[in-house]
């Protein structure tokens, strides 16, 4: 039987992953989303922009990276090298879910949730319309080459761009193309939680996967009540993080989601 044709995304996955050899930490954080959803609705009414909880959680992650700078960098020749800015990557589905693209938000800790949403929307529109030249250039070799050649190619280009910080415009690749954190959502597919597998060529220390917002029973002052809850699952490179940094990450994300108005003092909670 002849082999089936594969999308660039599937070929890239086959070429990238093998049996795990690196030590990763897996963590799960379930947070009440009541205030986050109220904040999102107020911002949507005030600006007319389509804001989602993914945008807010991405902003919370940026705040966490700012407060735990030892997570915001790359391992180069066995040493930690910090990034100069807090950059976060969001994954975008294309071609009816058959392909993925990334949108990197630079200086994510300095941008509002609205600015992040606008940037993501505009970039995603270009990608889906086939108007992003860098993405088309990066996809070209994936469509033409067999997986056994893609593996060393993406490993080498990933090392050059994500570790050494080399720009490769001829291949549609930028320096540090994924920043320090990749965030994606499975909540839109009705899944409550899941852990994202590390992508070797990205050289990113943290992957955050967002589940669906659900009504869940929780204890408040000793009484069981129903609240809107959301679960975040993180896959973290153990070389970057231990318990102390993990605590900062979890505490900061929880604080922002439970009081999102701290990101925008002018937006008054009602």
Render pLDDT for 113-142 as a digit per residue (tens, 0 to 9): 999 999 999 998 898 888 888 888 888 878
pTM metric for this prediction: 0.88
Q: Give the pLDDT band of residue 270 (cuts 50, 70, 90).
A: very low
pLDDT of residue 1: 47
Tell whether 214 is covered by a domain: yes
Task: Give a yes or no: residue 270 inside a domain.
Answer: no
In a domain, 19, yes or no: no
Residue 269 belongs to some domain of the structure: no
Confidence of residue 269 (pLDDT cuts 50, 70, 90): very low
3 lies in a domain?
A: no
> pLDDT tens digits, residue range 148-160?
999 999 999 999 9
Q: Give per-residue pLDDT as tens, 6-44.
A: 677 767 776 776 655 677 888 999 999 999 999 999 999
Average pLDDT over residues 177-206: 91
- Let me know if residue 32 belongs to a domain: yes
Question: Would residue 268 count as lying in a domain?
Answer: no
DSSP assignment of the chain equals -PPPP--HHHHHHHHH--S--S-EEEEEEEEE-HHHHHHHHHHHHHH-----HHHHHHHHHHHHHHH-GGGSEEEETTEEEE-SS--EEEEEEEGGGTEEEEEEETTGGGS-HHHHHHHHHHHHHHHHTT--HHHHHHHHHHHHS-HHHHHHHHHHHHIIIIIS---BGGGTB-SSTTTTEEEEE-GGGT-----PPP-GGG--SEEEEE---EEEEEEETTEEEEEEEEEEEEEEETTT--HHHHHHHHHHHHHHHH-GGGG-TTS---
Tell me how many domains the chain contains. Answer: 1
pLDDT for the residue numbered 4: 56
Residue in the block written with tokens 């009440």: 32
Can you read off the two tokens belonging to residue 108? 């994510």
Query: What is the domain-level CATH number for residue 198?
Result: 3.30.559.10
Mean pLDDT of 55-81: 92
Q: List the domain range (segments joined by +) for residue 69.
A: 8-14+24-262
Mean pLDDT of 164-190: 91
User: Residue 267: pLDDT above 60?
Assistant: no
pLDDT at residue number 46: 92
| pLDDT score, position 200 | 87
pLDDT category of residue 2 using cuts at 50, 70 and 90: very low
In a domain, 1, yes or no: no
């Amino acid at each position: 039987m002849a082999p089936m044709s594969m999308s660039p995304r599937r070929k890239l996955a086959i070429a990238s992953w093998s049996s795990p050899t690196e030590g990763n930490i897996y963590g799960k954080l379930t947070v009440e989303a009541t205030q986050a959803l109220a904040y999102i609705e107020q911002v949507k009414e005030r600006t007319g922009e389509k804001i989602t909880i993914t945008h807010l959680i991405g902003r919370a992650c940026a705040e966490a990276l700012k407060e735990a700078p030892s997570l915001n960098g790359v391992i180069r020749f066995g040493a930690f090298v910090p990034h100069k800015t807090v950059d976060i990557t969001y994954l975008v589905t294309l071609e009816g879910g058959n392909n993925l693209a990334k949108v990197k938000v630079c200086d994510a800790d300095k941008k509002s949730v609205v600015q992040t949403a606008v940037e993501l929307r505009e970039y995603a529109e270009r990608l889906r319309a086939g108007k992003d030249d860098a993405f088309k250039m990066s996809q070209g070799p994936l469509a033409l080459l067999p997986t056994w050649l893609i593996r060393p190619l993406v490993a080498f280009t990933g090392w050059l761009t994500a570790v050494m910080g080399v720009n490769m415009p001829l291949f549609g690749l930028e320096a540090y193309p994924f920043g320090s954190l990749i965030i994606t959502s499975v909540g839109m597919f009705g899944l409550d939680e899941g852990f994202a597998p590390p992508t070797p060529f990205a050289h990113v220390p943290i992957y955050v996967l967002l589940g669906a917002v659900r009504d869940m029973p929780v204890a408040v002052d000793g009484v069981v009540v129903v609240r809107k809850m959301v679960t975040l699952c993180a896959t973290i490179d153990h070389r970057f993080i231990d318990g102390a940094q993990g605590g900062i990450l979890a505490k900061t994300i929880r604080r922002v989601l439970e009081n999102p108005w701290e990101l925008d003092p002018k937006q008054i909670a009602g």
